[in-house]
Structure 1
């Protein structure tokens, strides 16, 4: 594809250097992904992690390459997408396009990706954290490693507005800066206090559920209560000086053309993305030798969601009270949990999604399904007498008063609207292609089956 280009010299080509350059300026992984994150069995320190990289069609798209009967149209769309991209590059460089050669080269690229897909680990087989934990020293790694498509994929009829894509990209790459803008505009101190009260009610309800739990032993229940809470937003983002300090240049040579990290209004979109990618990659790797801050926020404050970080503040069957990977459950407790989890797997695995020819992957989605169902139960608990005595939501109503009835739905009381509210969280519709993609790649069940 690049043979004959006046800027390409085969004798000077070095694949490793190219992979480093792509990672440095675009933040993209080639063949193997690498990133810095807390060690699973000792979350006080960070390690350099390596994992399988995404395929050309995106994360968790292995099945698209391996099942051409079901997904042949998408592969063909991908093929045409690559051909069109090459032609655009040739046009930009004022070079003629040889259609036959381009088609041949693109075919080889897809065949190569398919071979990679065959040796990749399926997403549902990556859920066991112990199997995914394989500690190696750098010396070991040297031995192991010696050297319009989007529209068809998701069924969209038109491209998202430019402002929407830019906003999404900015929120992802500068979460604290954009979060500060959001907080200053719509999230003052009163809502944060209400949020804290609401979370405290949820924690109280959760602790009551633990007391009533009949399959978990006392020592396990005691450890569960050590979970850390990060709510709403980190305080430093409202201090402009501290926020500027967070985004300042990590080193004097972070950019070849600019001694310090800075995004200017005159920068093109591509220049901004390159600067942000360079900044974040160096920022991330600079943290390799620093202790982990368990109070660090993962989400942008403008994103309404709950996140469960096993490294920083979470606890689960495979992670202890401070987030270290450890098999800490008693064998009997573990057996009872696995039996209950299998019920969730079987329940969701029987759901057929109309129009797709697929069923929900109960194994892939089990973690989110357990969280969804447990969260609803925790938020609004019903006693054996069907009274909302210890419900987190009931406590919220008692503290702040009954919520206003919604016009047209006045006949429903607050408890009934509570369930309507949960349903609207995932209310929406998907194209057939987006639904298929979700079933194959997403750890969440399709939206209409999130709460069953």
Structure 2
């Protein structure tokens, strides 16, 4: 099964700007707000049906050329067309666009993908674009750029090296314990929700209990034979960066196509082997959470420091990822990762009312230095996850202290352990943006800027106001609060 995805095309062909404007397909694209409904993006049909829908493109020939020599498909092969209207308009556009413009566009896409691996003159042009877009005036040192490229392109190999050389095994076992604490807290929240009917509650608990955690790295990452097998056929030659990147692109594409007829294995180690990454993920199709080794250190986590710091750091992130399974998009998938509606209608409506409160709250936040308000709709998934995550992490920490005992204060600081939890959680998102980057994040990003990822969720928690003695009606202890989970 294939996915025919909508792409927003951005091109500037020198000397043909007027003609190339036709490639700015924004008017054909489904708005981001509508794309939050996963059902709208799941349009299953055969290649034959797609051919009738968009006769301007020879779909069967096109697909078979791409996946050759691994497979040959027929017109009865199923495909998922994310946005049929977009593809229909694309077909019409191709017929009325001069072939010269199409050819120039294709070559521009090749050039645009390669410019970072060319000489200084070419990269200076790229830098000028970056300066305009995100305000970046200087490039990273070449070694740092190369390290980033290698980490992305050879993620499993780099992850294996990182784990062997730097990762502390105690971090993995401690993180597993924290996941158990926080998942248990989320289950407790589900059990006590007044707005959820019994049937939906039981399905929600089933989904929460079915979440598979992938912590630090899979065991296979340290098995040389598995890595050799994974990279079998990849050709890397010394002294030719552009050719090597081309080989990596082809290798990765072929790797995906080769798996077309494989039975889906949601626990395949290869899907969770990028260990040297400072990030975390929730997968709705797997109903899994992933915390690579790279995030189990630094600001987020250290095995030998007070637990209020770890629960405020990585604990906040763990709760965030668990809650993604129950945000406005994650809730559309069931415990098995299938796109199925498991909500009773009355409870669904109550969820949407609570989500609307989050939308309104964040949609009324203004970034003063830009005088721009946030998009509460496009950021609602991350905002719901932030609000649920901090609540789960806080109460998980309280439960931890009931079992293990109250922790000591930090020497020379007047703060209580609970206050230090909040400070640790806020410290995770300490950030400084260039104005251009901040504007781009607000206009296109799914995450709210960092300050709102702290002030928004904290202001919705009465526990925060109590721990810090915030006056009623103050900024972080408002009369009206929003709470989904």
Bigger helix share: 2
Counterpart residue number, 2:134? 154
Q: Which of these residues, 373, 377, 396, is aligned with residue 363 of structure 1? A: 377
> 1:260-311: per-residue Cα shift (whole Å, max 9, x none)?
x2223x1422122111111110111111211222224457222233311011
TM-score with structure 1 setting the length: 0.70
Counterpart residue number, 2:10? 56
Q: How does 1:23-422 map to 2 (within 5 A)?
A: 47-56=1-10, 102=14, 104-109=15-20, 111-114=21-24, 116-145=25-54, 146-147=56-57, 148-222=128-202, 223-224=206-207, 225-249=209-233, 261-264=234-237, 266-296=238-268, 297-298=271-272, 300-314=274-288, 315=325, 316-381=330-395, 391-392=396-397, 395=400, 402=407, 405=410, 410-422=413-425
Is the partner of 1:198 in helix, strand or coil?
A: helix
Q: Separation in 2 of the partners of 1:237 and 1:299?
A: 6
Q: Separation in 2 of the partners of 1:425 and 1:213?
A: 29
CA contact 1:317–1:334 (8 Å) conserved in 2: no
Is the partner of 1:231 in helix, strand or coil?
A: strand
CA contact 1:348–1:361 (8 Å) conserved in 2: yes
Judged with a 3 Å threshold, the aligned counterparts in structure 2 of structure 1 residues 244 and 403 are, in CA distance, closer, same or farther, namely farther
> 1:219-246: per-residue Cα shift (whole Å, max 9, x none)?
3333232222222211100111111111
Q: CA deviation at 1:138?
A: 0.9
Higher relative contact order (CA 8 A, sep 6+): 1
> 1:394-418: per-residue Cα shift (whole Å, max 9, x none)?
5179659947838xx7222332122
Q: Separation in 1 of the partners of 2:398 and 2:160?
A: 29
> 1:292-343: per-residue Cα shift (whole Å, max 9, x none)?
2222445722223331101112544210111100111110110111011000
Judged with a 3 Å threshold, the aligned counterparts in structure 2 of structure 1 residues 333 and 189 are, in CA distance, closer, same or farther, namely same
Q: CA deviation at 1:125?
A: 2.1
Q: Separation in 1 of the partners of 2:408 and 2:161?
A: 28
Judged with a 3 Å threshold, the aligned counterparts in structure 2 of structure 1 residues 119 and 301 are, in CA distance, closer, same or farther, namely same
CA contact 1:318–1:326 (8 Å) conserved in 2: yes
Judged with a 3 Å threshold, the aligned counterparts in structure 2 of structure 1 residues 174 and 221 are, in CA distance, closer, same or farther, namely farther
Judged with a 3 Å threshold, the aligned counterparts in structure 2 of structure 1 residues 404 and 156 are, in CA distance, closer, same or farther, namely farther
Is the partner of 1:367 in helix, strand or coil?
A: helix
Q: Separation in 1 of the partners of 2:2 and 2:196?
A: 35
Counterpart residue number, 1:433? 436
Is the partner of 1:123 in helix, strand or coil?
A: coil
Is the partner of 1:117 in helix, strand or coil?
A: helix
> 1:237-261: per-residue Cα shift (whole Å, max 9, x none)?
0111111111112xxxxxxxxxxx2
CA contact 2:430–2:450 (8 Å) conserved in 1: yes
TM-score with structure 2 setting the length: 0.65
Is the partner of 2:44 in helix, strand or coil?
A: coil
Q: Separation in 1 of the partners of 2:432 and 2:185?
A: 33
Is the partner of 1:317 in helix, strand or coil?
A: helix
Q: Separation in 2 of the partners of 1:298 and 1:401?
A: 35
Q: Separation in 2 of the partners of 1:294 and 1:404?
A: 43
CA contact 1:350–1:360 (8 Å) conserved in 2: yes
Runs of 5+ in structure 1 lacking a partner? 1-46, 58-78, 83-101, 250-260, 382-390
